[in-house]
């Protein structure tokens, strides 16, 4: 999605919010604030959202934009404040988490000046298991957030490329694709009770190998290429 481009989230399968330099984050945040109500509705309706670093911070009530603390989207009950030492007081290190969304440790690195604090009852993405790294702040040894189908984290890496077993995110995304496609396709199309000829399993990964074209096939093949194991889909993947 380019700056200034309108988007209808009702047809979106997964939203990803990344970080970036101050100028780019300022431009992106203005567009996101204009979409605030739409993003709220998307999340509350079970939409899948993955947010990294600055994209994670903006999910809360307040976050850091350059040297300012500004209003966030308010999608998750959390706030981000600047460290007492200012922007030079950054948390920078390699980091390893344990997370209920992954059977293996989640690895990455952090580089942020913000200190994020979750609201009461809000679950973190994971707990810091390494001797290096801090996560959300200096004290609680937790990183990120989990809320409905939202995952936010400070871990760069890239996150999914370094942690291909985060299959829960991918399964939710593909399940969401399947649901939305079935709801919108013509009634003349019949649901298949067996995998389509354009889908086949690969015994070495037990992932769907998608050979069709179109939105669903493209999304599924992207996850498959990362070594994910998505939910089995019982609708043909070759349509656009």
Q: Give catalytic residues, as residue numbers.
A: 53, 156
The pair phi, psi for residue 85, each rounded to 5°, is: -85, 5
Q: Tell me the three state secondary structure of residue 114.
A: strand
For residue 103, what are the contacts with CB-CB under 8 A and spacing of at least 6?
165
62, 24 in Cβ contact below 8 A? no
- HSE of 52, CA atoms in CB hemisphere, 13 A: 15
CA dist 195 and 180 (Å) reads 18
Positive/negative CA dihedral, 163, 167, 172, 173: positive
* Strands across the sheet containing 126-128: 106-112, 91-98, 126-128, 142-143
């Amino acid at each position: 999605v380019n700056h200034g481009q309108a988007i209808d989230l009702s047809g979106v399968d997964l939203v990803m919010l990344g970080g970036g330099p101050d100028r780019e984050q300022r431009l992106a945040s203005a567009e996101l604030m204009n979409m605030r109500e739409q993003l709220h509705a998307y999340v509350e309706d079970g939409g899948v959202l993955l947010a990294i670093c600055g994209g994670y911070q903006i999910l809360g009530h307040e976050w850091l934009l350059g040297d300012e603390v500004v209003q966030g989207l308010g999608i998750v009950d959390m706030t981000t404040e600047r460290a007492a030492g200012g922007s030079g007081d950054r948390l920078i290190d390699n980091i390893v988490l344990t997370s209920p969304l992954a059977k293996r440790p989640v690895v990455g690195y952090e580089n942020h000046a913000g200190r994020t604090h979750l609201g009461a009852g809000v679950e973190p993405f994971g707990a810091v298991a390494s001797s290096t790294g801090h996560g959300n702040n200096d004290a609680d040894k937790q990183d990120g957030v989990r809320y409905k189908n939202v995952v936010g984290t400070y871990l760069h890496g890239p996150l999914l490329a370094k942690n291909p077993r985060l299959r829960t995110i991918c399964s939710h995304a593909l399940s969401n694709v399947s649901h939305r496609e079935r709801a919108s396709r013509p009634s003349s199309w019949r649901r298949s009770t067996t995998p389509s000829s354009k889908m086949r399993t690969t015994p070495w990964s037990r992932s769907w190998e998608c050979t069709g074209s179109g939105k669903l096939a493209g999304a599924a093949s992207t996850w498959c290429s990362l070594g994910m194991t998505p939910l089995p889909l019982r609708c043909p993947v070759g349509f656009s």
